[in-house]
């Protein structure tokens, strides 16, 4: 039940329609406006009428029946006993009539409109969902097939041909994917066949290389045996020849002229060169065959170095080269084979004298670099070694290009020296600079701790010996 206010109340907007009933019919003065509560009540289907206060002009002297089709309302004037002379009657003041209106028709119309709106909305939503589902299936199903096939292709599985469901861009993509998958599978099959073929080829080549390597090792072993045997057989007659040359030079078998003495000296020099070559070949073949024997023992470096430099004196004096020895007096004994260590020093010093210009100095320095390690260094002022030849000079029978023009030799000295140092568990290296000389260094292990100075003899400074 809604009781709207009268137009003359405190509200600013009228809630009723004022209808004035005149002789010529009703006059609608304002439009009916519903409040939100009234509108919800109408839409909810309330069966109770809504009453409006309506201002109606009812003249007593007028008998009229007015029908308002919009409101379905009939207002009737009560028949009164009026005099015959209507002009004598005075019009009455306007009267207030309270009219009740039924909203059932309006509620029925509103419900029909509401149901139509709901049905239209549901139909639209259902149709849209169906269209979206159809479009999604048209796009996603082919893409899912492509995704599954691509996943199998990525892990190396066999990929079946993906069915082409449409003739649009997705269908073209599916066709391209099928072509790519077919090509990749064909290439993979070819690669597998090639891999099997290569494995067979590699196995065959490996067997051939193994056979060739075994054959080369056998040839190398026979070569080493031949060189060792030949060198050993040549050493004995050379020793005998050298003894006889010394007797001839000393005049034991008779007087020798100066020309004969010079000839004998040249023969003796060539015999010495031949003896060195034979010794190098014999030593190298023994080391290669594993027949070299190293007898380690404590060695006094002072005596051994002095004896080595003394043996080299004839050659160094001929070249007018001085050898300066730097040897600390408190140096400990070294653990080495005396003969092999002498051969190492002799090879390095001989090379230094051979490649050093006349009237120059060669430095032989020995120093302790750790508690159990001693370093030997032989420094010359020769032409140096080219950077490209540094890694090759320790190879057997290798000679630097510049060495062929200035000196003679078989190229075995440094190779033998390196092998001998390694037999002593040491290492050999070279530091060189072209046109400024080279420094060959190697290390050996000491046999005992350093000998400290006693109370009777103080520790002297490093001694320097010069042999010219």
Which DSSP string do the residues of 373-426 spell out, in sequence order?
A: EEEEEEE--S----GGGTTTTTSTT---HHHHHH----S-HHHHHHHHHHHTT-
Is 231 a domain residue? no
Other C-beta atoms closer than 10 Å to the C-beta of 51 total 15
pLDDT digits (tens, 9 = 90+) for 5-59: 444 444 333 333 444 444 444 444 444 455 556 555 555 555 444 444 444 444 4
Other C-beta atoms closer than 10 Å to the C-beta of 273 total 12
Is 229 a domain residue? no
Q: Considering only 88-92, 193-197, 262-266, which range has the smallest mean pLDDT?
A: 88-92
What number is the average pLDDT over the span 460-464?
A: 33
User: Residue 417 pLDDT > 60, yes or no?
Assistant: yes
More confident residue, 105 or 352: 352
Is 110 a domain residue? no
Q: 């190298």: which residue's tokens?
A: 284
Is 418 a domain residue? yes
Is 264 a domain residue? no
End-of-domain residue from the set 59, 85, 102: 102
Is 70 a domain residue? yes
Q: Domain tally for the chain?
A: 2
From CA 208, how far away is CA 242, in angstroms rounded? 49
More confident residue, 79 or 167: 167
Is 47 a domain residue? yes
Q: Quick one: what percent of the chain has pLDDT higher than 70?
A: 71
From CA 365, how far away is CA 326, in angstroms rounded? 5
| Phi/psi of residue 230, nearest 5 degrees | -65, -45
Is 238 a domain residue? no
Q: Are the beta carbons of 245 and 272 closer than 8 angstroms?
A: no
Confidence band, pLDDT 50/70/90 cuts, at residue 409: low
What number is the average pLDDT over the span 424-451?
A: 85
Domain region containing 72: 19-102
End-of-domain residue from the set 62, 87, 102: 102
End-of-domain residue from the set 82, 102, 122: 102
Confidence band, pLDDT 50/70/90 cuts, at residue 2: very low
CATH of the domain at 309: 3.30.565.10
pTM for this entry: 0.48
User: Residue 1 pLDDT > 90, yes or no?
Assistant: no
What number is the average pLDDT over the span 399-426?
A: 77
More confident residue, 39 or 270: 270
């Amino acid at each position: 039940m809604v009781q709207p206010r009268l137009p003359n109340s405190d509200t600013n907007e009228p809630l009723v329609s004022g209808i004035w009933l005149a002789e010529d019919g009703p006059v609608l003065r304002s439009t009916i406006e519903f409040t939100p509560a009234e509108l919800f009540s109408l839409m909810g289907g309330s069966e109770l009428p809504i009453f409006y206060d309506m201002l109606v002009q009812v003249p007593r002297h007028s008998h009229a029946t007015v029908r308002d089709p919009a409101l379905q309302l009939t207002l009737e004037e009560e028949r009164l006993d009026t005099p015959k002379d209507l002009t004598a009657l005075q019009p009455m003041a306007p009267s207030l009539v309270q009219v009740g209106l039924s909203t059932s028709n309006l509620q029925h119309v509103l419900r029909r409109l509401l149901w139509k709106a709901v049905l239209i909305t549901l139909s639209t939503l259902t149709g849209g969902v169906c269209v979206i589902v159809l479009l999604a299936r048209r796009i996603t199903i082919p893409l899912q097939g492509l995704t599954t096939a691509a996943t199998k292709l990525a892990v190396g599985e066999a990929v079946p041909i993906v069915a082409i469901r449409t003739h649009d861009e997705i269908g073209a993509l599916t066709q391209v994917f099928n072509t790519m998958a077919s090509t990749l599978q064909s290439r993979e099959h070819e690669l597998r066949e090639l891999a099997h073929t290569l494995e067979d080829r590699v196995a065959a080549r490996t067997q051939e290389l193994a056979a060739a390597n075994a054959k080369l090792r056998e040839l190398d072993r026979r070569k080493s045996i031949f060189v060792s045997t030949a060198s050993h057989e040549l050493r004995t007659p050379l020793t005998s020849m050298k003894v006889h040359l010394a007797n001839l030079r000393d005049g034991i078998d008779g007087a020798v002229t100066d020309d004969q003495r010079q000839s004998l000296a040249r023969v003796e020099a060539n015999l010495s060169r031949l003896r060195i070559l034979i010794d190098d070949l014999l030593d190298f073949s023994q080391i290669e065959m594993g027949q070299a024997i190293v007898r380690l023992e404590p060695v006094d470096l002072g005596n051994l170095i002095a004896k080595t430099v003394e043996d080299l004196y004839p050659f160094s004096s001929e070249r007018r080269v001085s050898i300066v020895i730097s040897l600390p007096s408190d140096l400990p004994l070294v653990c080495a084979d005396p003969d092999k260590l002498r051969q190492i020093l002799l090879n390095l010093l001989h090379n230094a004298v051979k490649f050093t210009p006349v009237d120059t100095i060669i430095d032989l320095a020995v120093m302790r670099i750790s508690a159990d390690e001693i370093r030997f260094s032989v420094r010359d002022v020769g032409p140096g070694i080219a950077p490209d030849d540094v890694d090759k000079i320790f190879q057997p029978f290798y000679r630097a290009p510049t060495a062929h023009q200035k000196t003679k030799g078989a190229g075995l000295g440094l190779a033998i020296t390196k092998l001998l140092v390694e037999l002593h568990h040491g290492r050999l290296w070279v530091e060189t600079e072209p046109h400024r000389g080279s420094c060959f260094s190697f290390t050996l292990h000491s046999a005992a701790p350093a000998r400290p100075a006693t109370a009777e003899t103080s520790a002297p400074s490093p001694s320097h010996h010069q042999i010219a």
